[in-house]
Amino acid sequence: MYLEHELPTQLAQGITIFMLYPVVLLTLTFFCSATMSTLGGGVTCFLLLAVAIIGGFIEQSASILQSKNLISVGIISSLINPSDSVYRLAISTAGARLSQGIFYGFDPFGVAMAPSAWMAVYIVIYKVILLTLAYRSFSRRDF
C-alpha cells in the first residue's frame, strides 16, 4: 500500500493500536449480550464504557496532580474496561508530540501518563477471556 510508505512508523503503529478500541468494546458487548437480557446488556456496556472514560480522565488528572490514590482508581477502572487504555496507548504510540497535547497531556488528545506494555498484554488476555466466557454462556442458552 502507498500509505505505509508515506506515514511515519509511529503513526501507523498508533492507528493499528487504535483499531483495537472497537474490538475491545465489541468483546465486552458480546459478553454482556450473551449473559444478560438485551436492555440489561446495553445498559451495562454503556456504564462500563462511562467508567472507563471517567477512570481514564481521573488517572490522567491524578498523574498531573501526582496523587497515587487517584492513579490507582484510574488503573482499577482500566482493569474493569481497558478501552480508555487502548485509546491512550494509541495516542502515546502515534507520536510524542501528538501525545503531549496542548495542555501537557491534560486534554482529550493528550496523554499525561501512557499505559505500560503490560496493559497491552492485559488487553489481549481480557479479550480472550471475555470471548471465551461469552461463547460458553451463549452455547448453554435455550432458544
Residue 122 lies in a domain: yes
Residue 2 lies in a domain: no
pLDDT at 100: 55
Residue 143 lies in a domain: no
Whether the model clears a pTM of 0.75, i.e. scores above it, the answer is yes
Say how far apart CA 125 and CA 101 lie, in whole Å.
30
Hey, what long-range contacts does 55-60 have (CB within 8 A, 24 or more apart)? 55/80, 55/84, 56/84, 56/85, 56/87, 56/88, 59/113, 60/88, 60/105, 60/106, 60/110, 60/111, 60/112, 60/113
Go through 123-138 and write b for each residue having 16 or more CB atoms within 10 A of its CB, e for each that does not. beebbeebbeebeeee
pLDDT at 121: 93
Residue 139 lies in a domain: no
Residue 5 lies in a domain: no
Q: Which helix (H) or strand (E) holds 118?
A: helix 117-139
pLDDT at 36: 92
Q: How many domains does the chain have?
A: 1
pLDDT at 88: 87
Residue 95 lies in a domain: yes
pLDDT at 99: 53
Residue 4 lies in a domain: no
Spell out, as residue ranges, where the chain has pLDDT lower than 50.
1-2, 6
Residue 77: give the domain boundaries.
11-133
Burial of 25 (0-12, 13-18, 19+ CB in 10 A): middle
Residue 1 lies in a domain: no
pLDDT at 2: 46
